[in-house]
Amino acid sequence: MMLKKTTLSLILGLFVMAFGVLPKAMASPDLPASLQCAEKGSEYYTIDLVTTKNIPGTGMASGKAVMKFNPNPFGISISKDGSYLHRLEIQISKAKKPGEGKFVAWVTTPELDKVKMIGSLNKEFEVSGTVEWNKYIVVITLEKEVPDENARMWSGPIAFRGLSRSGLMHTMAGHGPFAQEPCAKYGYY
């Protein structure tokens, strides 16, 4: 009996290492906690969305954008320029429905030179879409109405923001040895 449990654990471990997830059929409370964690995804691929507290009903809210690789039968999806295509699954919790307008998710490069609308959040405050940049900022705004899919920039106030993990790495150039300037002011944590 012990050999069978060891073999099953080895097979499940190899599956998790190869695919990064545990099959849903095998995710159960009977499995060890270390294997159940694999079903939830890696913390590294989760972007924390922080409220700006500028919109009524968002002061106690929080959110996350889970980055996943875009499905592809050949492995990892890439764009025309060779960048990875990521699928973002965005979710806001503890937010109140705005009196007027809709929450809309956007992604932009750290320089704000490229902006892409992901979409309008649904009644459960969720939306998903793709992004093809390595470093990016996720921005949730409150728009009076949902913009056209080709919109070049948001027009409403920012309700939430978050920075991709690769964007957290930035140079210290421009920071003096005793600089006390908070990097969060510029979107860094």
Average pLDDT score over the chain: 77
**Other beta carbons less than 10 A from residue 172's beta carbon:** 9
Instruction: Write the single-letter amino acid at 118.
Output: I
Is pLDDT above 60 for 181?
A: no
Quick one: pLDDT at residue 10? Answer: 53
Q: What is the rounded CA–CA span in Å between residue 134 and residue 65?
A: 15
Q: Could you tell me if 144 and 121 are in contact, meaning their C-beta atoms sit under 8 angstroms apart?
A: no
What average pLDDT does this structure show over 166-175? 62
Q: For the residues 157-184, what does the mean pLDDT come to? A: 69
pLDDT at 184: 52
pLDDT digits (tens, 9 = 90+) for 125-159: 999 999 998 889 999 999 999 998 888 999 999 99
Question: Do 58 and 141 have their domain in common?
Answer: yes
Lowest mean pLDDT among 78-92, 125-139, 158-172: 158-172
Q: Are residues 159 and 71 in the same domain?
A: yes
Does the global pTM surpass 0.95?
Answer: no
Number of structural domains in the chain: 2
- Using a 10 angstrom Cβ sphere, with 0-12 exposed, 13-18 middle and 19 or more buried, the burial of residue 44 is exposed
Report the phi/psi class of residue 75: left, alpha or beta, with left for phi > 0 and alpha for psi in -120 to 50: left
In a domain? residue 184:
no
Count the Cβ atoms, other than its own, within 10 Å of residue 112: 11
Same domain, 53 and 142: yes
**Domain range for 164:** 42-170
Of 36, 70, 63, nearest to 49 (Cα)? 63
**Spatial contact of 138 and 47, defined as CB atoms under 8 Å apart:** yes
Confidence band of 169 (pLDDT split at 50, 70, 90): low
